[in-house]
Amino acid sequence: MGSLSPVHWVIVALAFVVLFGAKKLPDTARALGQSLRIFKSETAKMNEENPAGPAQGPAGSSPSAEQITAAPEPSLEEQARLLEERAAALRAQAGTPRDLHN
């Protein structure tokens, strides 16, 4: 059920001929072959340039463990002060409840 029989392949080939025309099929196949050849040569060049495996980047470009440090978390007092400042700014921006009804 999952595989295609020879009859199915003939139908698929006829559909390609009807859709693309007999003249365009050889040109398309030739272009596809050239594209595959270029792709294979470029991947071979990449493998020759970097046989060690995945790209690691140039030496010194990746930060070391000492360079990667998280920002220190503010103390609870500092967090409370920042929240109070935000609340005051929001209250000033919103105005008084009387302003909202008018």
Any idea where the domains of the chain sit in the sequence?
A: 6-49
How do residues 51-77 score in pLDDT, each as one tens digit? Answer: 665 555 555 566 665 566 666 777 888
Environment class of 59 (CB within 10 Å of its CB; exposed 0-12, middle 13-18, buried 19+)? exposed
Give the whole-angstrom CA distance, residue 72 versus residue 28.
Answer: 60
pLDDT at residue 17 greater than cutoff 90 = no
Q: Cβ(25)–Cβ(17) under 8 Å?
A: yes
Whether this model's pTM surpasses 0.75: no
How do residues 78-95 score in pLDDT, each as one tens digit? Answer: 888 988 999 988 888 887
For residue 55, what pLDDT is reported?
52
How do residues 22-46 score in pLDDT, each as one tens digit? Answer: 888 888 889 989 999 999 999 999 8
Q: How far is CA 62 from CA 68, 72, 102, in A?
A: 10, 22, 59
Q: Which two tokens stand for residue 77?
A: 């007092």
